[in-house]
Chain A
Amino acid sequence: GAVVSQHPSWVICKSGTSVKIECRSLDFQATTMFWYRQFPKQSLMLMATSNEGSKATYEQGVEKDKFLINHASLTLSTLTVTSAHPEDSSFYICSAIDDRGYSPLHFGNGTRLTVT
């Protein structure tokens, strides 16, 4: 079946540094990918919609200069958390829409970010 690979699965970084998270569709092309954030025991919060070849669309309240999204190819989107702070610690999940058909979404396994 369709697979989305998210890397790294976990990362620990120091305050003030930047962290890049990759989301790859392994056996399909994805013009559109989504980035979610999930706090403990809470639902998914959509952060942004990533579109290949154009600027990402951010949800209200999400700082686009802090969470940089680059969708440079039809199989890769990256989320960079810039100048990370402890409050950015969270579980980040990407998902991708197969260009051959809209549903269902395919999810990566998530990235656990801890900022010390």
Chain B
Amino acid sequence: GDSVTQMEGPVTLSEEAFLTINCTYTATGYPSLFWYVQYPGEGLQLLLKATKADDKGSNKGFEATYRKETTSFHLEKGSVQVSDSAVYFCALEGSYIPTFGRGTSLIVHP
């Protein structure tokens, strides 16, 4: 079945540092890939998405490129802020039920 593997957290960074959160997947066919963000005490919000190979999703300074050859969708940001502290979920929608990674907690210190 489909699966998503994310790097374990927490990821702790200083403000303005570079961020990478790794995500790899296994799926049949050609799934769409997503990153969701969950701020403390809230539900999930869509951060960005990519629907086909080589697509780059971007939003709020975050980027991720759909790499079919490496089955990856790593999340990056060039300069993180304290307000980026949250849990980030990688997800795919290929089969009927969406599949989520375990989530990676990001903590950004001033």
Interface residues of A (CB under 8 A from B): 4, 6, 34, 41-44, 46, 49, 93, 95, 102-105, 107-110, 112
Contact = CB atoms under 8 A, between A and B. Distances in A.
B100 A103 contact: no
Interface of B: 32, 34, 36, 41-46, 49, 51, 89, 91, 93, 97-98, 100-103, 105
Label chain B's interface by main secondary structure: strand
A113 to B, nearest CB: 13
B91 to A, nearest CB: 8
A43 B42 contact: no
Given A43-B89, A103-B34, A108 B102 contact: no
Given A102-B93, A103-B32, A103-B93, A43 B45 contact: no
Given A43-B100, A43-B103, A107 B43 contact: yes
